Homo-oligomer: A and B are copies of this chain.
Amino acid sequence: MKFKIVAALLATAFAMPASADVLIDNVTGITMDEEGQVKRFEALVIDDDGRIAQILSRGQERPRTDYREEGEGRVMIPGMIDAHAHVMGLGFGALTLDLSDTNSLEEALQKIRVFAAENEARPWILGRGWNQEKWGLGRFPTAAELDSAVSDRPVYLQRVDGHAGWANTLALQAAGITDSTKAPSGGRIEKLSDGKTPSGIFVDAAEELMNAAIPAPRPNERDLAFVEAQKVLHRHGITAVADMGTTIEDWQAYRRAGDKGSLTLRIMSYAAGIDEATLIAGANPSPWLYNDKLRLNGVKLYLDGALGSRGAWLKAPYADDPGNTGLPLMAPAQLRNILVRSAQGGFQPAVHAIGDAANAEALNAITEIADSFPQDLRWRIEHAQIVDPTDLQKFAQDGIIASMQPVHQTSDMFMAEARMGENRLQGAYAWNTILGLGGRLVFGSDAPVESPDPFAGLAVAITRSNAAGEPFGGWRPTERVTREQALAGFTSEAAYAGFAEGRFGRLLPGERADFVLINTDPLLAAPEEIRSTKVLETWVGGRKVYDAD
């Protein structure tokens, strides 16, 4: 028996159900175009599967569509893309105690006390966001101080940068920490002044000792956290994110949302290591799933820690801690081995490097290896905060993407001066120099380390000043970028850095209709207006996912 079956019957491709097209008219539309230039438009047409059909200028004839909507002159920009965030961390952060707004140890302890009382059912009190520098404490806090707030349950609180944690006595006991516990390589257990009693502070790899003791979240808690993360991001006008350090559990939560049809965020995922990448995606990166909502792009690697906890790996000792150059988290051979394994599978490497030694090592390792891999891998260095000026031209040289977070500059500037000394900051947060040398620069928030608000990022990118307008005129202001460069860093360039160009990131025909309606023109408004931009609506794939009303 032979059957003549038309090819379409055999096709396994999926299509959105037939639906209506929509004209949104009278907007102040802004996008980057194919040449990377700003293009303004006045109307946008969404086709029946959520892609942009047309953008139209003033005076151009409007097509007939099923629906026409009036934009009333509001500003429409591409959905903002956060090129470096921790989606599940943001979600869990939203569900746990947030200390990032505390200005003193006493204020923090009071907030912890109240949170514990309000959450009696939780067996552990978890939180994050403390910063002893912001508190003006001049030292780390201690377990005993934390016990004064909560002594009936274990408490463990991560520092604002995630590179240190603070435990109370019951948490130390739960983790089996004693005077004789040794810190793993790449980590440090802080001691009290007697030099042997653990103080309650765990730095970098030593945090694992505590993390291992914390009960793992259950899947429904993960799902809740993800719902929360999506909400927070959309509220800030973010439609896509590069998720740094995706675990298999994270990935499964994203897929559950995709399978249920509740995935509204676009996630470009970087697995928490090469083994995690192959477990998640197989031998190669995953395809784009759920209509360009999810893809495993590559692998996140940690080459050093952070400046705040003096874990960033420096070429010379810390100015405020002579003899300490921070910690490399991988040996040279190990870094190269993982980069090669990633590249062989086509996984895009994204290397966390904060100190100048870490950046030099990452740039050199990539330069050594890149020639052997002719395919388009788009090597990324994440943070690239402190770079030796002589190394800066290496970004452009090998097409290495600098993935940086504007707000880190204003949060860190005084601390960076203390850690590095004035003379070693020529290559610090060197956005304009990297661009000027021909490098590619993309912007993100590092949420939940900072707020995911991209408009704060835009404002800092063009001013190098914080919310208080300090320092007046900007910190090392020659490293400011233009408004157009800043917007591109949060849209079209961030899409390119995640292999998403042509899919989203610009408001051009054929791309997904991801956009934000806001009350400010980021190319014209004063920086303080940009910083206080109100997101009115957020749309993903032609569908409204957030409405301020």
Determine if A133 is an interface residue (Cβ-Cβ < 8 Å). no
Determine if A74 is an interface residue (Cβ-Cβ < 8 Å). yes
Question: Interface 1/0s, chain A 221-243, versus B by CB < 8 A?
Answer: 01100000000000000000000
Complex contact B219–A1 (CB within 8 A): no
- Whether A20 touches B5, Cβ cut-off 8 Å, given contacts A286-B259, A543-B10, is yes
- Whether A14 touches B12, Cβ cut-off 8 Å, given contacts A1-B70, A219-B283, A256-B282, is no
Determine if A409 is an interface residue (Cβ-Cβ < 8 Å). no
- Whether A22 touches B1, Cβ cut-off 8 Å, given contacts A17-B13, A282-B253, A543-B10, is no
Complex contact A282–B8 (CB within 8 A): no
Residue in contact with A3 in the complex, picked from B16, B69, B219, CB distance below 8 Å: B69
- Whether A220 touches B283, Cβ cut-off 8 Å, given contacts A1-B72, A5-B20, A20-B5, is yes
- Whether A69 touches B2, Cβ cut-off 8 Å, given contacts A17-B11, A48-B9, A248-B279, is yes
Q: Separation in Å of the A111 CB from the closest CB of chain B?
A: 30
Q: Separation in Å of the A72 CB from the closest CB of chain B?
A: 6
Complex contact A537–B1 (CB within 8 A): yes
Determine if A524 is an interface residue (Cβ-Cβ < 8 Å). no
For A69, the closest partner residue in chain B by CB is: B3
Q: Separation in Å of the A536 CB from the closest CB of chain B?
A: 8
Determine if A121 is an interface residue (Cβ-Cβ < 8 Å). no
Determine if A179 is an interface residue (Cβ-Cβ < 8 Å). no
Q: Separation in Å of the A427 CB from the closest CB of chain B?
A: 39
Complex contact B1–A223 (CB within 8 A): no
Determine if A64 is an interface residue (Cβ-Cβ < 8 Å). no
Determine if A180 is an interface residue (Cβ-Cβ < 8 Å). no
Complex contact B252–A517 (CB within 8 A): no
- Whether A5 touches B22, Cβ cut-off 8 Å, given contacts A220-B283, A282-B222, is yes
Instruction: List chain B residues, Cβ under 8 A from A67.
Output: 3-6
For A26, the closest partner residue in chain B by CB is: B1
Number of copies: 2
C-alpha spacing A490/B410, complex, angstroms:
67
Determine if A260 is an interface residue (Cβ-Cβ < 8 Å). yes
C-alpha spacing A189/B465, complex, angstroms:
69
C-alpha spacing A192/B398, complex, angstroms:
61
- Whether A20 touches B3, Cβ cut-off 8 Å, given contacts A261-B13, A282-B223, is no
Instruction: List chain B residues, Cβ under 8 A from A220.
Output: 282-283
C-alpha spacing A151/B260, complex, angstroms:
53
For A46, the closest partner residue in chain B by CB is: B9
Instruction: List chain B residues, Cβ under 8 A from A249.
Output: 279
C-alpha spacing A255/B287, complex, angstroms:
11
Q: Separation in Å of the A462 CB from the closest CB of chain B?
A: 28
For A21, the closest partner residue in chain B by CB is: B9
C-alpha spacing A136/B309, complex, angstroms:
69
Q: Would you list which residues of chain A between 181 and 222 have a CB under 8 Å from chain B?
A: 218-220, 222
Determine if A477 is an interface residue (Cβ-Cβ < 8 Å). no
Complex contact B10–A283 (CB within 8 A): no
Instruction: List chain B residues, Cβ under 8 A from A517.
Output: 1
Complex contact A260–B287 (CB within 8 A): yes
Instruction: List chain B residues, Cβ under 8 A from A69.
Output: 1-4
- Whether A543 touches B279, Cβ cut-off 8 Å, given contacts A3-B69, A71-B1, is no
Complex contact A544–B253 (CB within 8 A): no
Residue in contact with A287 in the complex, picked from B4, B259, B279, B283, CB distance below 8 Å: B259
C-alpha spacing A15/B48, complex, angstroms:
14
C-alpha spacing A222/B13, complex, angstroms:
24
Instruction: List chain B residues, Cβ under 8 A from A255.
Output: 255
Instruction: List chain B residues, Cβ under 8 A from A22.
Output: 3, 5, 9
Across the A-B interface, give the 6 residue pairs with the lowest CB-CB distance, nearest first: A12-B261, A219-B282, A9-B19, A220-B283, A14-B14, A219-B283
A positions within 8 Å CB-CB of B: 1-6, 8-20, 22, 24, 48, 50, 66-67, 69-72, 74, 218-220, 222-223, 248-249, 252-253, 255-256, 259-262, 278-283, 286-287, 289, 517, 536-537, 542-544
Q: 5 A–B contact pairs at CB < 8 A?
A: A10-B543, A13-B17, A248-B248, A253-B282, A259-B289
13 further contact pairs, Cβ within 8 A, besides A1-B537, A6-B67, A252-B280:
A1-B517, A3-B69, A4-B67, A4-B69, A5-B20, A8-B17, A12-B262, A14-B16, A15-B15, A15-B17, A219-B283, A220-B283, A223-B283
